C-alpha cells in the first residue's frame, strides 16, 4: 500500500470527494487534529457517530494500514506544519504600523545575530582568497540561497573578479567539473542539506578548487567544504511574514564583498567609475544614485 506523502492534503481531498462517512470523518479530523492524534478508535467513532470498522476503512482509504499508522503520519504532519494549520486571526488594529515594525525589527535582529556570531577572521581570509582567484563560482538552490549566489556575482563582477552564479542543480555540478586549482567555489545553503550544492562542492574539490560554504555549522554542506562561514537561520514564529534570515545572509555577502574590495584596493575603482558613468549617462545624471542598482 502506498505510503501517504502528505496526510493533510489527502484529508482535505477526502473531505471533498470521499464517501459520505469519509467526508464526515475527514472534516472532523481537520477540525480537531490534536484530539484525533491522541484519541482511541472508540473515542473517535463515538465523537463522529460512526462505527469503529468505518474508522479503520477510512484510514485505509487514505493509504494507511490502520488507525495507528494514520496517527503516526498525522502526528508527523502536525509537528512539521502545525503552525500553518490553525493560525491565529490577523488583528486589524494599527495593521500598517504592525506590519512595518514586524519587518524592520525582525530584519535588524537577524542582522545583529549574524554579526555577533560571525568569525571575522575566517570571513576576511575568505575575501582574501576570492580577491586573488582566477575565477569564482557561486552556487545556491532554493529561494534565499539562489538569490544570494546571484547577488554575490552581482557584487563581485564590478570589482574585476571573474565570477559566475549558477542556481540550476545539474549545471552546478557541470560547472564544478571544469573547476581548476585557481577556482573558488562559494556555496550557499540556509539548511545545509541542498543535495545539488553538496555534490557540486565535492566535484569541484576533485579538481583542486577551493570550496567555501556559508551554511549552518555541523550541516552536511559544512562537513564537506574546505572553509565554512557559519550562518544559522532563526525564525521568529510569524508565519505570515517572509523569513528575515535573508537580510542576515545578505549582510554577510556585503561584508565579504567589502573585504574583497579593500583587499584588491584602488584597482577596483576604474570598474566602479565606468559603471557609474554608464548608468548616469543612460538614465539619470544624479551621482547620489546607487552604483548600478
Q: What is d(CA 70, CA 31) in angstroms, rounded to the nearest whole number?
A: 16
Using the CB atoms, write b or e for 5-20: b if 16+ within 10 Å: eebbebbeebbeebee
> pLDDT truncated to tens, each residue of the chain (293 aa)?
455 578 888 899 888 988 888 899 999 998 888 888 888 999 999 988 989 999 999 999 988 988 988 988 888 888 877 767 765 555 555 567 778 888 888 899 899 998 998 999 999 999 999 999 999 999 999 889 999 999 999 999 999 999 999 999 999 999 999 999 999 999 999 999 999 999 999 999 999 999 999 999 999 999 999 999 999 988 777 777 888 889 999 999 999 999 999 999 998 989 888 887 777 665 556 666 666 55
3-class SS shares of the chain: helix, strand, coil, % to 5: 60, 10, 30
Phi first, then psi: give them for residue 188, nearest 5 degrees: -105, 135
Which strand ranges, in their side-by-side order, compose the sheet holding 227-230?
A: 163-166, 135-140, 183-188, 210-215, 227-230
C-alpha cell of residue 194 = 541542498
Q: Is 247 helix (H, G, I), strand (E, B) or coil?
A: helix
Q: Are strands 183-188 and 163-166 parallel, antiparallel or unpaired?
A: unpaired
Backbone angles phi, psi at 148, to 5 degrees: -70, -35
Q: What is the pLDDT of residue 238?
A: 74
Given this model, what pLDDT does residue 283 score? Answer: 56
Report the C-alpha gap between 23 and 10 in whole angstroms.
11
pLDDT at 2: 55
- E-strand ranges in 175-285 read 183-188, 210-215, 227-230
Could you tell me where the beta strands, DSSP code E, fall in the chain?
135-140, 163-166, 183-188, 210-215, 227-230
b vs e for 216-231, b when ≥16 Cβ sit within 10 Å of the residue's Cβ? beebbbbebbebbbbb
* pLDDT tens, position by position, 75-122: 888 887 776 776 555 555 556 777 888 888 889 989 999 899 899 999
- Name the pTM for this structure: 0.71
Query: C-alpha 236: how far from its chain's center?
Result: 15
Q: What is residue 1's predicted lDDT score, i.e. its pLDDT?
A: 46
Amino acid at each position: 500500500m502506498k505510503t501517504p506523502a502528505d496526510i493533510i492534503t489527502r484529508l482535505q481531498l477526502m473531505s471533498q470527494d470521499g464517501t459520505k462517512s469519509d467526508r464526515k470523518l475527514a472534516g472532523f479530523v481537520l477540525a480537531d487534529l490534536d484530539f484525533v492524534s491522541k484519541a482511541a478508535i472508540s473515542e473517535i467513532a463515538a465523537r463522529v457517530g460512526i462505527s469503529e470498522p468505518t474508522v479503520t476503512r477510512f484510514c485505509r482509504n487514505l493509504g494507511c494500514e490502520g488507525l495507528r499508522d494514520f496517527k503516526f503520519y498525522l502526528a508527523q504532519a502536525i509537528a512539521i506544519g502545525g503552525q500553518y494549520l490553525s493560525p491565529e486571526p490577523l488583528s486589524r488594529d494599527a495593521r500598517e504600523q504592525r506590519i512595518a515594525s514586524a519587518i524592520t525589527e525582525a530584519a535588524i535582529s537577524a542582522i545583529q545575530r549574524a554579526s555577533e556570531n560571525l568569525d571575522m577572521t575566517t570571513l576576511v581570509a575568505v575575501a582574501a582568497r576570492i580577491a586573488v582567484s582566477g575565477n569564482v563560482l557561486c552556487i545556491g538552490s532554493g529561494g534565499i540561497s539562489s538569490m544570494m549566489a546571484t547577488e554575490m556575482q552581482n557584487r563581485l563582477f564590478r570589482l574585476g573578479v571573474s565570477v559566475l552564479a549558477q542556481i540550476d542543480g545539474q549545471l552546478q555540478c557541470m560547472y564544478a567539473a571544469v573547476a581548476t586549482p585557481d577556482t573558488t567555489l562559494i556555496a550557499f545553503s540556509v539548511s545545509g542539506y541542498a543535495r545539488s550544492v553538496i555534490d557540486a562542492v565535492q566535484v569541484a574539490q576533485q579538481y583542486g578548487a577551493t570550496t567555501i560554504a556559508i551554511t549552518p555549522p555541523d550541516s552536511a554542506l559544512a562537513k564537506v567544504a574546505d572553509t565554512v562561514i557559519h550562518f544559522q537561520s532563526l525564525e521568529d514564529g510569524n508565519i505570515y511574514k517572509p523569513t528575515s534570515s535573508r537580510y542576515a545572509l545578505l549582510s554577510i555577502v556585503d561584508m565579504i564583498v567589502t573585504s574583497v574590495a579593500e583587499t584588491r584596493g584602488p584597482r577596483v575603482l576604474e570598474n566602479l567609475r565606468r559603471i557609474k558613468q554608464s548608468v548616469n549617462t543612460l538614465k539619470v545624471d544624479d551621482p547620489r544614485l546607487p552604483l548600478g542598482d
